Structures are given as C-alpha cells and as structure tokens.
Amino acid sequence: MKSLHMKKFAVLSIAASALFAITPATQAATLGPTNFDVSVDLAARCQIQGAPAPVLDFGVYTAFVGAATPAPTTAINVECTRNLAAPTYSFDGGTGYGVLAGLNYNVTATDAVVAGTAATAVAGGIGTPDVYTITLTGAMDPLQAGDCGGLSEAACAGVQTVTRTLTITY
C-alpha cells in the first residue's frame, strides 16, 4: 500500500507545480521615471484678419472751401503668433502722402496691440494670437482746387479712387 499512496502524492505534487508555473506573478514591478522629449518646429506668422480691403473715404471735398475735410479712419487687424516681434509697416512710395483728383492728402498709421492668451495643457486650451490694430487716418488740407482731368463738372463729381499699398513686415 505504501507504493499506491506515494503515487498519489507524486501526481498531486506534479499537478500543483504545473498550476503555479502558468499562474502569473501577483506582484507588479515599478520602473523608475523615464524622460522623453516633445518637440515642434513652429513656423511663426502673421495674417490679416478679414477679407475685404479697408477703404479710407474722404467723402465729398468742395474745391476752395476753407474748412478741412474731417479726418477719416479705417483699421487693419493683423493677428500674429504670440510674442513674435511686433510687425512694422511702410507705405508704397515711402510715405503716406499722395494725390487723388488733384487733391493732396496724407495717411498716417498708428498701432495698438491686444496680447493673446497662452495655450494651456488641457483639452481645448489652444490660446489666442496677439492682435495688432493698425489705424489709418487721412488728412486733406483745405482750400485746394483739385483737378478734373478734362472731365465735365458732372463727370468729375463721381467717386475717384486710388489704390495704396501698406507693406506689413514681421
């Protein structure tokens, strides 16, 4: 009988060993922190907000009138990558001076900036751009004669337009 009892023990012992061999370890191992880099190649830029070109409209100018035409204004909004160096701008011809319908005028530009907000490390935390508002202000001296270019009084009275270029550099 002794041999029968030993066989049972040997079989049970082998079965128990096999069970432990396929059961994963219940203890988890922790590795130390691992550093990694996150990188991007940012192509910073500026862009003009809105599609239509602004219009600086002097309205009706009556020749030889003693009062100056009110100074019209218009604005160009430029949005830029945050904390990019402030854009600069220049007029075609180097200055804002020009002649329209034989009337001398000048355009000056001033700017103001509204700083954007920083991006945040949360979903939707994209931040906002810096927005530069360039205000163009026109001035036209009084008492000018103007020039109809050979047109009749009625034809000369129509709106005349000249296109100017403001170059924005960033």
Residue 54: give its domain's CATH number. 2.60.40
Query: Across the chain, what does the average pLDDT equal?
Result: 86
pLDDT band at 2 (very low <50, low <70, confident <90, very high): low
Q: What is the pTM of this model?
A: 0.74
Average pLDDT over residues 116-144: 95
Residues of the chain with pLDDT > 70: what percent? Answer: 85
pLDDT score recorded for residue 90: 94
Decide if pLDDT at 40 tops 90: yes
166 and 134 Cβ atoms separated by less than 8 Å: yes
pLDDT band at 91 (very low <50, low <70, confident <90, very high): very high
80 within some domain: yes
Least confident of 15-19, 20-24, 48-52: 15-19
Structural domain total, the chain: 1
Look-up of token digits 């530009």: 109
pLDDT score recorded for residue 155: 85
Q: At 48, give phi and psi (nearest 5°).
A: -85, 130
- Residue 137 tokens, joined: 């202000």
pLDDT score recorded for residue 53: 87
150 within some domain: yes
34 within some domain: no
Rounded to whole angstroms, the Cα distance separating 97 from 75 reads: 18
pLDDT score recorded for residue 122: 94
Residue 44: alpha-carbon gap to chain centroid: 9
39 within some domain: no
Task: Residue 72: give the domain boundaries.
Answer: 46-169
Residues of the chain with pLDDT > 90: what percent? Answer: 66
11 within some domain: no
Which amino acid is it at 107? V
Average pLDDT over residues 97-124: 95
